[in-house]
Amino acid sequence: MGSIFSAALERTSERLDRLLGWDRLPLPIAILTLVGLRTRLRNRNLHDTGKGRRAAEPHARPADYLTARTIDGTFNDLNDPQMGALHARFGRNVPLVHTWPEPDDALLEPNARLVSRKLLTRDEFSPATTLNLLAAAWIQFEVHDWFSHGQGEEENPWQLPLEEGDPWFENPMRIPRAKRDPSGDPSGPPTYVTEDTHWWDASNVYGGNEELANALRTGEHGKLRIDDLGLPPTELEKHIDLKGVAGNFWIGLALLHSLFMREHNAICDHLHANDRDLDDEGLYQKARLVNAALMAKIHTVDWTPAVIAHPTTVVALRANWWGILGEGFVKRFGRLTANDVIRGIPGSPTDHHTAPYSLTEEFVAVYKMHPLIPDDFTFRSLRDDSVTQERTLPEVGALEVRTRLEEMPMTDVLYSFGRMHPGAIELHNYPRFLQDFKRPAGDEIDLAATDIIRTRERGVPRYNQFRRLFHLEPVRSFRELTENPEWADELEEVYGDVELVDHMVGMYAEPKPRGFGFSDTAFRVFILMASRRLKSDRFFTRDYRPEVYTKAGIDWVEENSMRSLLLRHFPELEPALQGVENPFAPWRQVGR
């Protein structure tokens, strides 16, 4: 009976979505429609690419693998210890036959540097006025936990000839090719492996290898090493490779790294007060579980509803954590059923649905949200809102973070981020400094052009084909793609054929549902993957329980939020947060 109802809901949801659009339906029907769409996506848009080079047996099981996350992500799934582990392959959300990259000559058309300059360049900053800049920092912070393809291959780079008048320092522009899976099937489409684990395990805070993870620890009471600026001590920088994702570090990431390292230590104190039998290792492992779960909760019930603030998605996303009966019901009566739609995903049965768990190349592609980052920053005093500094993006980048934090109290920097807006995710709003990004390791890249090349070479379908494979109608013309007639003309001039529009460019151009910071096309991936990251992880499902986390640990996750975390470590921020419903929305001006 359940499968019959599910199939009927799936069919009905697709019809309603195509005829009216889920975002125009009354709330109860809209919620059911999203549940049906998610079911369809689970059945048709999860595709296994195989295990990759970690197919061999993992290292010996750690003594506490049943109740603690491993650094390399093994043993999350006890029946398949390699699932989601370090160096596991990215999966796909489209059938593998559609993931072959185009031939090289077609892949390079239109020229990605031309797309960058003509369609993405920020002529004037367009703000996302419903959000604050912490929202932009947050998603980069989380992405550094979720996925990394590693450094590109230096041999035989892509070569992009430049137009006359292009000021780039070399012609042609060279972009390293993506690093392919060394164990890929030569008869199949290319595959790629992750340099992080696929799990939502806070590896961005705790490190992705044993050496760094151990160097971050004090060795006492489970705590992490933090200096006077609230960051890891400078001697740990020898463990950081600025050629990798660490080269993208900036002051926004520093705020969140500091916040969650402080939170880890506060959790250790709380756990120690409630269980004196936990030693240094026990406190560290339990605090890591709690901290990672709190990050996942904040992303689910605070960040995502702020970025896609349609009334339906706000309810739906909170239901991922609390169920459709809501937080109040769960806290009063408990999670009374195994059905995660009703009770929320935490503590429900683990389910990978139709493919082994992994993050996917399509998921990576929709998180290309660099327009969120401004080029210019205004820092203000929490005392009286006066301007204390005005800086550009390079002046708050990886090599300048400590200098800025020595000049300004962290409370002022947090307050400033709460008052500043990120950029809108749309055409002509890509950060200028990222189109000419001089990285700490010494190289120089156009990140916009690189984003486009990377998406093409990894076989992510172009915009219209992507829509078809996610059960959406393709657009028939540039005027149908965007409501902005000037953009439509520019798109036609660059692409000529609407079928050639890049996935990222199409998502930036298309109209957004009410309250959305990103496109409805991107949302289709989120419908599927937002719950999958929770539902596949045993530490969010079957092992989200006091016997694993401790009762004090579970209570900490259930009772805390982004607001309580900010105010625990920086109570001076309370006046700026008064009356602010979501901490990722603009904060109050104070001091005047």
Residues forming the active site:
144
Cross-strand bridge partners of residue 89: 193
- Amino acid residing at 376: D
* Pairing verdict, β 153-160 and 173-177: antiparallel
Chain CA centroid to CA 5, Å: 33
Indicate the Cα dihedral angle 450, 246, 204, 396, nearest 10°: -100
* Pairing verdict, β 387-392 and 437-438: unpaired
Cis preceding linkage at 110, omega within 30:
yes
Please name the residues in contact with 318: beta carbons below 8 A apart, sequence gap of 6 or more.
Answer: 300, 301, 305, 326, 327
Burial class of residue 360, CB neighbours in 10 A (0-12, 13-18, 19+):
buried
- HEC string of 451-520? HHHHHHHCCCCCHHHHHHHCCCCCCCCHHHHCCCHHHHHHHHHHHCCHHHCCHHHHHHHCCCCCCECCCH
Please name the residues in contact with 65: beta carbons below 8 A apart, sequence gap of 6 or more.
Answer: 74, 75
Please name the residues in contact with 29: beta carbons below 8 A apart, sequence gap of 6 or more.
Answer: 16
Q: How far apart are CA 91 and CA 294, in angstroms?
A: 26
What does the block give as tokens for 518? 């990103």
Contact status, residue 301 vs residue 318, Cβ threshold 8 Å: yes
Indicate the Cα dihedral angle 62, 67, 71, 76, nearest 10°: 100
Q: How far apart are CA 320 and CA 341, in angstroms?
A: 7
CB hemisphere CA count around 529 (13 angstroms): 27
* SS3 call for 259: helix
Nearest CA-CA partner of 420 in 372, 377, 387, 369: 377
Provide the residue count of the chain. 592
391 sits in which H/E element: strand 387-392
CB hemisphere CA count around 38 (13 angstroms): 20
Q: Please count the other Cβ atoms lying within 10 Å of the Cβ belonging to residue 253.
A: 20
273 sits in which H/E element: helix 251-274
Task: Kindly provide the b/e burial profile for residues 275-292, where b requires at least 16 CB atoms within 10 angstroms of the residue's own CB.
Answer: eeebeeebbbbbbbbbbb
